Amino acid sequence: MARARLRSLAREPDPVLLMGRERRWRWPWAVLGLAVTALVFLLLSLAAISLEDLAVRLGWVSGGLPRDAFPLDPARPLSALDSVLVSLPFLLAPLFALWAVHGVSWRRAFAWSGSFDWRQFWRAALAYLLLGSLGVVLGYLLEPHQHQFPARSPGFLLWAALALGVVFVQTLGEDVLFKGYLVRVCGAVLPLRVPVVAAVIFVFVAGHLWNDDFGRDFAVNLIYFTVAELLAFALLFRTQNLAACAGLHWMNNVLATFAPTLPGQPVFLALLIYTDPVYAAGGGRLLDPLTHAVGIAGFGLLLVLLLWRRSPFYLPKAPLPEPGSGMAGTSRTGATLHS
């Protein structure tokens, strides 16, 4: 049954992806849209880099700006603005391309129909927070000597609130580019779910291979990074909305900011720091049964929280368009039969 379902997703047109066939969606427009997105992304990124260089030259920041995935540093207040500027190209470039090239509303990056569903965002985020907090507590109970609790000044609260917003812009930008734009545009011209999702995950994961955590334990991080993306894409197609994916991504990075557990994760805003004894000794966790047991249990519990009908975090499945309704088909001119 599962094999037949997978074969269907790989070979048969996907009704959700077909919903992306609106206005200017065919191959020439898709190629042009990707090119415009890349160009706008490059221009915005160059502008951010220029501002970084200007800030260093003028002495607004000493020692340069952090280059981490979570680069907020209270000792360098400009790092918050820099984080937003570096993240904006991911968000603004695809939104511009949807409007200027494809002729559809920029809101289409957030949902195939309708708008961003904040209820789904918070349900997914809170479910992840619940499991993440449980993991932190259990980890502390099992290895209390491996945990540190840095002292924080009252000004930390302001930075904590700022971090929540900055991380939201960073994670939402990535989700809009990869799941809201690339999946929509590529899926419209090639409406096969497995190839499209596999290609986008490959590009997304490839962009993170230079992170410190990958450098420390490549195989384990590659496995769980990919599994997490598969889960996020499953929720994307289930809800036909970016919100749940964005909620999971945001909360994952929030927890990494305030409770770092992997080598290389910055500790500027950490309330709790876990030092992994295996990584500290230069080892890896690929062959560690406990690591995989915890990982499997975590993903399993997350699925239960999000898919069990009686769960307060339940994410209902969005209805698929009826065949021949116009939601999953196009006219001969390439424009969809619905507005």
Report the distance separating Cα 8 and Cα 2, nearest Å. Answer: 10
Are 245 and 302 a contacting pair, CB within 8 Å? no
Are 125 and 248 a contacting pair, CB within 8 Å? yes
Report phi then psi at 63, rounded to 5: 75, 15
Q: What pLDDT does 63 receive? A: 59
Are 72 and 159 a contacting pair, CB within 8 Å? yes
DSSP H or E segment with residue 147: strand 147-148
In-domain check, residue 337: no
Q: What pLDDT does 332 receive? A: 34
In-domain check, residue 20: yes
Q: What pLDDT does 65 receive? A: 58
Give the domain extent around 116. Answer: 2-307
210 closest CA partner among 55, 67, 94: 67
Q: What pLDDT does 187 receive? A: 97
In-domain check, residue 230: yes
In-domain check, residue 318: no
Q: What pLDDT does 278 receive? A: 92
In-domain check, residue 143: yes
In-domain check, residue 246: yes
Q: What is the pLDDT along the chain (339 residues), one digit of tens a residue?
A: 677 777 777 889 999 999 999 999 999 999 999 999 999 999 999 998 888 888 777 777 665 555 555 567 787 778 888 889 999 999 999 999 999 999 999 999 999 988 999 999 999 999 999 999 999 999 999 999 999 999 998 889 999 999 999 999 999 999 999 999 999 999 999 999 999 999 999 999 999 888 888 888 999 999 999 999 999 999 999 999 999 999 999 999 999 999 998 877 888 899 999 999 999 888 999 999 999 999 999 999 999 999 999 999 999 999 987 765 545 444 333 333 232
DSSP category for residue 261:
-
DSSP category for residue 273:
E
How many domains, in total, are found in the chain?
A: 1
Report the distance separating Cα 262 and Cα 276, nearest Å. Answer: 7
Are 245 and 125 a contacting pair, CB within 8 Å? no
Are 146 and 274 a contacting pair, CB within 8 Å? yes
Amino acid at 296: I
Positive or negative, the CA dihedral 37, 38, 43, 48 is positive
Q: What pLDDT does 314 receive? A: 98
Q: What pLDDT does 333 receive? A: 35
In-domain check, residue 317: no
In-domain check, residue 7: yes
